[in-house]
Structure formats: structure tokens, C-alpha cells
Chains A and B, each alone.
Chain A
Amino acid sequence: DAGVIQSPRHEVTEMGQEVTLRCKPISGHDYLFWYRQTMMRGLELLIYFNNNVPIDDSGMPEDRFSAKMPNASFSTLKIQPSEPRDSAVYFCASSLGRDRYYYEQYFGPGTRLTVT
């Protein structure tokens, strides 16, 4: 398996622009997680899905952030409008469900977002 795939790897945009980050989870995994990593706040869980349904979005910082999972193989995280404080590395991770083995999350390579 290719692992969790994220695109783009790097994104530089201007304040006010819309940004869309993409994730393809590992085939067969039914949980998908979006994290944000910054020096100040560390690794934060933004939202996660189970079987394409959002379960907990309490980590989403504000209404400018939205996430969708239209099918089992694709998810997006959108920021509109973007602000400089959104600059961070955004990770997508996937895993098998709670009754499976060991609860391991598999992370993608991350998208480094810079908002100028």
C-alpha cells in the first residue's frame, strides 16, 4: 500500500485566499483524522471521521475551517479565508476501527502551509 497520501506537500498563499488540502487514506481504513502541528501548540486534532461521517470537529479552530469526506478514499480540509496564523503543517492520518488491532494511526507526510 502507498500509505496515506496528502497533497500538496507545500502550499504558499496570500491572506484571504481559499486553501484546500487533500488526503487519501489507506484503503480499508475507516477512520480519518486531520491534525495541525505548530511550534507553539504542538500536534492538535482538528476533526475526525468514521465511515465518512464527521464524529468530532471540536478541534476546528473557527468557522473558516471546514472538512469533508465525500467517500472512503478522499477527504479535504478547506480554509476560507486563510490568515497568517493558519501557517502550520497539516497532517492527515487513518486507521482501522476500534475493534481492530492496536489502534495505530498511520500518518501522511503532511502539508506545510504558509500564509503571507
Chain B
Amino acid sequence: AQTVTQSQPEMSVQEAETVTLSCTYDTSESNYYLFWYKQPPSRQMILVIRQEAYKQQNATENRFSVNFQKAAKSFSLKISDSQLGDTAMYFCAFTLKTSYDKVIFGPGTSLSVIP
């Protein structure tokens, strides 16, 4: 069975600084997708960034980038130039390409950006 682990329940960062959120996953498959979702206090779940396992290049979306280490089964999220609006829960998620239907979410990391 596939699992997703986020070992940091809470983190904080000063505004304008950089922070990295950790995620590890477990699977015996080789073809899958990884995601980071953001859930601000409004509760709305928003996709931040995605990574296809067969792509070696790390995905980047503006201030958000990932460090994908397939052999280590690690998928960390780096937020550069942190802004107050980045305060949210961040969920790492995983889905197999062959069974797209099920997306497995990690327990989440609560990030607070401090002015």
C-alpha cells in the first residue's frame, strides 16, 4: 500500500525568508504523480505544484519549487520569499498513474509566516 508521510506537523518562517517542507512516500511502483496542496484558513484546497515521477527535472511554479528525489522517495517543497498569504496547511499527495482515482494525502504541515 502507498503511504505519504509529512514529519513536520508545524513550521514557521519569517516573511521574505525561505522554508522547506518535507514529504516522503512509499510505493513499489515507478509511474506516479506527486502534488503539494495548500489549504489556507479559508479551507479552500488549492493545488500548488505537481511532479511526474518520470520527469527528472524538478517542477517550479513562481516562488514554489520541489526537490524530487525518486530513489529516496522524497518530495520536498521550497517556498522562497515567503509571504503572509503563504500561511496555510500544506498537504503532500500521491497518486499512481495506473490507478489515478485514488489520491493519497499526507497528514499536513501547518506553516505560519511571521511578519
Chain A residues proximal to chain B, CB less than 8 Å? 31, 42-43, 45, 48, 50, 55-56, 89, 91, 93, 98, 102-105, 107, 109-110, 112
Task: Identify the 5 closest CB pairs spanning chains A and B, nearest first.
Answer: A107-B45, A98-B100, A43-B105, A110-B43, A42-B107
Chain A contact surface mostly: strand
Residue of A nearest to B105 (CB): A43
Which chain A residues lie closer than 8 Å to B47 at the CB level? 104-105
Residue of B nearest to A104 (CB): B47
What are 10 A-B pairs with beta-carbon distances under 8 A?
A: A43-B108, A48-B101, A56-B102, A103-B95, A103-B100, A104-B35, A104-B47, A105-B47, A105-B103, A107-B45
Which residues of B26-70 have CB atoms within 8 Å of chain A's CB atoms? 33, 35, 42-47, 50
Interchain CA distance A104-B46 in the complex, whole Å: 10
Q: How many A-B residue pairs lie within 8 Å, measured between CB atoms?
A: 41
Which chain B residues lie closer than 8 Å to A112 at the CB level? 43
Number of B residues whose C-beta is below 8 Å from A? Answer: 20
> Contacts A89-B43, A103-B33, A104-B47; is A98 near B108 (CB within 8 Å)?
no
Which chain B residues lie closer than 8 Å to A89 at the CB level? 43
Which chain A residues lie closer than 8 Å to B106 at the CB level? 42
- Are B91 and A109 closer than 8 Å at their CB atoms? no
